Structure 1
């Protein structure tokens, strides 16, 4: 098996290992967007067992935690080992305009998708304007128009 040596990639890998020598949670990349009356969060978690994914809501804080275990075999000589293992963690402050009771999640092809509905109070709505005078005259004028 032939491997091409890229000195810059190797330097980046070594620097990453030296600077990221922490034992704590790893970072998980994510996208967050609003689609109509709900928010959608997509987080990349490739190679993670769906059973190890834990999603909690405490007040207005959403916490996503997942675990990737390192695969090791006896007598194996590693040529390259770039996939990080350990705990992945992300926390988001949801704010006041979401329905925390209606949050749902799914996991497919290494992507965790969380749907966060907007609360009824935070949805856009029309407000009726009442003119000075009796409400009966305003309603009659509106019907005639």
Structure 2
């Protein structure tokens, strides 16, 4: 399924810190769409400590990091362990068409929302066409 995300392209590159003890990549599923004058990114991060979420822009790279701590009680014996813990990382490349100074982020119900406004110069704008009627002046 081919999707194009205008000025935002996904690196989908996982750093070594993103690999868990069995060396399998941890997933941070994302949806990315344009809504009017902004791109909206939703990332599923259930069970993470909101204080551990770090969203930063370095040049043209947007990075999202989050930490989920394993809930292990003293003397617990695991029967099933499917929920991964540790550090999560996703990185995206931002193009020239976004306003990096106005990016905002919020977290609720296990979902991180990052709003990436389109820059003013990238917005389509109507150019007024002025009429210049030629009036021929007849010299007397």
Q: Shorter-chain TM-score: which interval?
A: 0.7 to 0.9
| Residue of structure 1 in register with 2:36 after alignment | 36
Determine the C-alpha separation between the residues in 1 that align with 2:26 and 2:63. 13
Please list every run of at least 4 consecutive aligned residues from structure 1 whose deviation after the TM superposition is greater than 2 angstroms. Answer: 127-131
The yes-or-no answer on 1:22 pairing with 2:14 is: no
Greater RCO between the two (CA within 8 Å, min separation 6)? 2
Determine the C-alpha separation between the residues in 2 that align with 1:116 and 1:79. 42
TM-score (normalised: structure 1) = 0.73
Q: How does 1:51-130 map to 2 (within 5 A)?
A: 51-129=51-129
Determine the C-alpha separation between the residues in 2 that align with 1:102 and 1:76. 46
Structure 2 portions without partners, runs of 5+: 1-20, 136-140
Structure 1 residue 32: deviation in Å?
Answer: 0.3
Q: Which has the higher helix share?
A: 1
Structure 1 portions without partners, runs of 5+: 1-19, 141-145
Determine the C-alpha separation between the residues in 2 that align with 1:64 and 1:48. 13
Structure 1 residue 27: deviation in Å?
Answer: 2.5
Greater C-alpha Rg: 1
The yes-or-no answer on 1:47 pairing with 2:35 is: no
Determine the C-alpha separation between the residues in 1 that align with 2:37 and 2:75. 54
RMSD (Å) for aligned C-alpha atoms: 2.1
